[in-house]
Amino acid sequence: MSLSPSPAPPSSPATAPIAPAANAGYALLILTLINLVNYLDRYIVAVALPGIQKEFGINDTQSGLLGTMFIVVFMLASPVGGFLGDRYPRRLLVAGGVLLWSLATGASGLATSFIALLVARAVIGIGEAGYGAVAPSIISDLYPREQRTRMLAFFYIAIPVGAAAGYGLGGWLTQQYSWHVAFFAGGVPGLILGVMAFFMPEPKRGAMDGPDAETKLPFMVGLRGLGRNAAFWAVTAGYTLMTFSIGGLGFWMPTYLVRERGMAGDSAGFIFGAITAVAGLLGTVAGGWLGDRMDRKREGGGLWMSGIGLLLAAPCMYLAVNLKEVGPSLAAMGVAQFLIFLNSGPINAAIVNCVPPAFRAFAMGLNVLCIHLLGDAISPALIGNIADAANLRTAIAVNALPVLLGGFALLLGARLFREAVPRARATA
């Protein structure tokens, strides 16, 4: 009973399907649109915050709890969502999770006190956890390995696009109407997509991993195997370091542009958001296409590309805050984000490929817990501490170090991934 990558060669038609499952495109489209709404809902609160502070009379520390409460509940609930996703129909978990968080988003607009809004944000975290850990495992069972990185990259395009939509739509509705209306509007698309998710196909676990793929696995057996899966932990370590860095960057970069570059607040937010949307979209698409090509050439090829991407992104991040001219600084930041988002598809494809189909949802949930607990849940505060001790430019420059270390961790993961596949084939 192996917990290594699928023993079948990705290109072998005798042992694994080479065509997507029926209705795979419909499921991928629904899951991607849900992911877009997922990130739209997360970022509405950021642009609605001034109005919320004014109405409830809360300070910055209390306001920060709105983000902290969501991320803490989300990361703690994700392994539970993964556990359920390995045992029950996943489309039902997806639909239920989306409906729950969409209702909670609408309830955020109805909140008449800070505590009520805080509770609503916590419920959003529960709903998103039921979806986030399960969706990649569904996609891995809809598409063969040689297409998996590309399809997961398509799914993760929703991150930069959804974040930009959250900033834009939330800001416009808040300015034109109120922050209450922004939350009402954010909840409606999720309710529609939640109903549509009930009609998605429910692929058999391991359907694209050959006839010998394990579809049932006792939890403690799977957990012990996952604990010994060095490739999974190396990839998770690299992903965590990357998440630490981009979480801190996303939180502090607009402030840096205002404080250190003299930009107006609205201009800084718009420019940084536009750079993130464009670089994120291009990087995610390019990473999916290149990752599949690299994986066809060598096991772990997509991870190798991701590691190189982070190694190149680190000096770009350093240059972005050390170049004197604003134009070259923003260009360096755009290149850095392109190289970071290059990894969305390959990293997540590596995670689902290096664990058995019957344990993928839990592995994804555990990965979500790690990358947030040790990543973007703590990086804004730590970078703020460095800024207090030195300055914000130095703090963001130091933030390039986790990206560099993450690159080395992914290169190690690529090597472990390549070594694991021949052993799995020999065992089979």
pLDDT band at 13 (very low <50, low <70, confident <90, very high): very low
Range of the domain at 99: 21-213
Domain CATH for 84: 1.20.1250.20
**Residues 415 and 314 both lie in one domain:** yes
Same domain membership, residue 404 and residue 323: yes
Q: Within this chain, do residues 234 and 165 fall inside the same structural domain, yes or no?
A: no
Question: Is there a domain that residue 14 lies in?
Answer: no
CA distance 223 to 424: 18
- Quote the number of domains for the chain: 2
In a domain, 35, yes or no: yes
CA distance 209 to 4: 12
Residue at 10 is within a domain:
no
Q: What is the reported pLDDT for 17?
A: 57
Same domain membership, residue 352 and residue 281:
yes
SS3 assignment, position 46:
helix
Q: Which residue, 163, 190, 213, sits at the end of a domain?
A: 213
Tell me how many helices (H) and strands (E) the chain has. Answer: 18, 0
Residue 332 predicted with pLDDT over 80: yes
243 with 200, same domain? no
In a domain, 16, yes or no: no
Is there a single domain that holds both residue 249 and residue 390?
yes
Residue 325 lies in a domain: yes
Domain limit, last residue, from 213, 234, 265: 213
**Chain centroid to CA 121: how far?**
18
The answer to whether residue 1 is domain-embedded is no
22 C-beta neighbours (distance < 10 Å), count: 11
pLDDT at 128: 86
Q: Is residue 8 part of a domain?
A: no
Q: What is the 3-class SS of 128-155, one letter each residue? A: HHHHHCCHHHHHHHHCCHHHHHHHHHHH
Which of 133-142, 251-260, 310-319, 389-398 holds the top average pLDDT? 310-319
Of 152, 183, 213, which one is at a domain's C-terminal end?
A: 213
* 188, 262: one domain: no
Residue 3 has pLDDT above 50, yes or no: no
